[in-house]
Structure 1
Amino acid sequence: MAQLLIDLRSTTLSHDERQWLADPACAGLILFSRNYDNPEQLKQLILDCRTAAGKPILVTVDHEGGRVQRFRRGFSRLPAAGSLLALAGNNQVVAQYLAWCCGLVMAAELIEVGVDLSFAPVLDLGVNQSVIGDRAFGADIATVTQLARAYAKGMEAAGMASCAKHYPGHGQVKEDTHLHQAVDPRPLADIAALDEQPFKILIKEGILDAVMPAHVIYPALDNKPASSSAKWLKYRLKGELAFSGLLFSDDLSMKGAHSLGSPAERALAASDAGCDLLLCCNEPANHPAILQALAGQGAVEFNALRAGAMQVSAQTLARAQSLLVSITKPVA
């Protein structure tokens, strides 16, 4: 059982996009910078999407901080995850507080305009000069786990669920799976002892609400990308690691997923492997075929991922926003 999250072409909703949102196989959407002009415009666009859908939908975005921040003018500037420890003077306690503030501010500002979920935190280990780069909180298990935990708790304090990525760890490959098929050839024991650890620890602690697997192939367990591998998702992540939340596919239009066939075949492969919610971005002509392929699979229960009420005071949020202003340059 799986549903599609579509993307939109611009700052307003077109006729075909309204039809796609209303399709029973569509669970919602993912937003990009091209959909944003200012906060009020974005609020109206999201309201229009919810009205067009005529059902509960999930509104999502990639808004981690650093180079992955879709909305800038009118939003607080979020530092890259990999810069937090340095900004804290290499003090782990201070860095954890900064991470918590980033998660809080990011989530609160998105919820204010109607977004339910940002795909964060990144749990990849930032090693080997991989394409992940400063999107990672650090290069070692302890730093990544501690700062990602704090970031996710900040999101929770704002009323937002967390979605960790990219399971079982994208940090050991240099290739960008948007453009290439990446392969991590290491033995399973190495992956389990290193990259998988932040996921394992935070799953055991009940921190993570959702997980996004990588489009990387890890042949130690399967010759398919993890995002379409039942061995990785059903048997290892949901089985051995006992993860009980929802799984999002990464963007099925990325080159890392192309080995699975047509867009519809990629969607079905990800669904069969255990993904509940599927992303397909930047190629709107593919949406009808995917929606047709998913027809009749039934709706995914995603209410736990919809935005909730903020659990901290407005004063606490304002202090966190002020702190971020003090450690970052103004947004242009």
Structure 2
Amino acid sequence: MIDVSGFELTPEEIDILDHPLIGGLILFTRNYYNQAQLRDLIKQIREATLNDIVIATDHEGGRVQRFREGFSRIPAMGSIDSLCSKNKLPVTNFTKQLGWLMASELQAFDIDISFAPVLDINGISEVIGDRSFHQSPEQIVTLASAFISGMKQAGMSATGKHFPGHGNVLEDSHVAIPIDRRSKQQIFELDMAIFAEINKRGLLDAVMPAHVIYPNVDPLPAGFSEKWIQQILRTDLKFNGVVFSDDLSMEGAVQMGGIIDRAKLAIAAGCDMVLVCNDPTAAVQVIDGLPIENTINDDSNNRLRSLKHSNTFDFKQLQKSQQYQQITYTLDKLINT
């Protein structure tokens, strides 16, 4: 999964998107000017790609929402509980409607998935904070399950991140190499229990491991660890969905070697798709450096295909629906009071 630089594709990007190893594309704020431009860009991407790729974005709500003007303002997940208490709203139903709203708006522009929801605990991590639903694991499970149910009602698959939990380590893996020195028992009974329970409920379609080292479990960061991905996630938790690497260009990944080495190690550990973002040179190095015949995997491809959305409505049709009008009316009232 790669990214692109602006509002429309460059000739070089069109050429890269035709490569057989490109299976996904992630959109950022720099790729959005207005709705018409976004629609045209995605049409251009679909036409340029050799594969039927997964188009993704990070549209969690709060400070992590890539498209704003013309889209509903989704509140931070960590503010939902207090918002509902203050305004005497049923929190589970409201959370479900937010999941539906987020997913429906993105799918109206032919975007397959948002990398959401965050299942981390709101602990000591500054990069997580109110991206998390709550401090309580039980409440995270309740609210995240409702949010995912809304996403699924809209037709979007859910990606839980950052497995097995990034909330109880201070450093930001975008700019540092976080190490969580707690005991295996603490990690399993607190942070990872959230992923385990939501997966047990059949709600997780994909998982993104953290670029965090948990030395009392394995010396490798979770996203490069066969123990975390193949043994704990796949075998012990019986997770059979997609495993995405987090961005291999992040600081939390650089200890694993050059960009090609990182990609090979993440795939060998069990990732179905690796992300290389905000570094076009690195993306080209990866697709040139990975052998096609040993990288494309039928099991991974089948899992990835399951993430594709099937909705055909456009944004104007969505706006006319009663469900859309009800949730946006409630949301506007909350934000403006």
The structural deviation recorded for 1:28 is 1.9
Aligned to 2:78: 82
Q: For the Cα contact (< 8 Å) 2:107–2:311, is it kept in 1?
A: no
Q: For the Cα contact (< 8 Å) 2:177–2:252, is it kept in 1?
A: yes
Please, which of 175, 186, 204 is the counterpart of residue 179 of structure 1? 175
The structural deviation recorded for 1:310 is 8.5
Cα shift readout 1:232-276 (whole Å, capped 9, x = no counterpart): 010001110110000000111100000001111111111011111
Please, which of 309, 315, 323 is the counterpart of residue 322 of structure 2? 315
Name the CA shift for 1:292/1:70 in 2 (closer, same or farther; >3 Å).
same
The structural deviation recorded for 1:130 is 3.8
Q: For the Cα contact (< 8 Å) 1:125–1:171, is it kept in 2?
A: yes
Aligned pairs for 1:65-80 (under 5 A) are 65-80=61-76
Residue aligned with 1:211, SS:
strand
Residue aligned with 1:7, SS:
coil
Please, which of 41, 49, 53 is the counterpart of residue 49 of structure 2? 53
Unaligned runs of 5+ in 2: none
Please, which of 295, 298, 306 is the counterpart of residue 296 of structure 2? 298
Greater shift in the superposed pair: 312-321 or 48-57 = 312-321
Please, which of 4, 9, 28 is the counterpart of residue 5 of structure 2? 9
Amino acid paired to 1:235: Q
Name the CA shift for 1:93/1:190 in 2 (closer, same or farther; >3 Å).
farther
Residue aligned with 2:252, SS:
helix
Cα shift readout 1:77-130 (whole Å, capped 9, x = no counterpart): 000000000001179982222211211111000000111000001100101354
Q: Distance in 1 between matches of 2:270 and 2:262?
A: 13
Greater shift in the superposed pair: 306-315 or 84-93 = 306-315
Identity %: 41
TM-score (normalizing by structure 1): 0.94
Unaligned runs of 5+ in 1: none
Please, which of 93, 109, 114 is the counterpart of residue 118 of structure 1? 114
Q: Where do 4+ consecutive residues of structure 1 move more than 4 Å?
A: 90-93, 310-313
Q: Distance in 1 between matches of 2:212 and 2:219?
A: 10
Aligned length: 326
Aligned pairs for 1:198-213 (under 5 A) are 198-213=194-209
The structural deviation recorded for 1:329 is 4.8
TM-score (normalizing by structure 2): 0.93
Please, which of 152, 155, 172 is the counterpart of residue 156 of structure 1? 152
Q: Distance in 2 between matches of 1:329 and 1:128?
A: 30
Q: What RMSD in Å do the two structures reach over aligned CA positions?
A: 1.9
Q: Distance in 2 between matches of 1:190 and 1:12?
A: 47
Larger RCO (CA under 8 A, 6+ residues apart)? 1
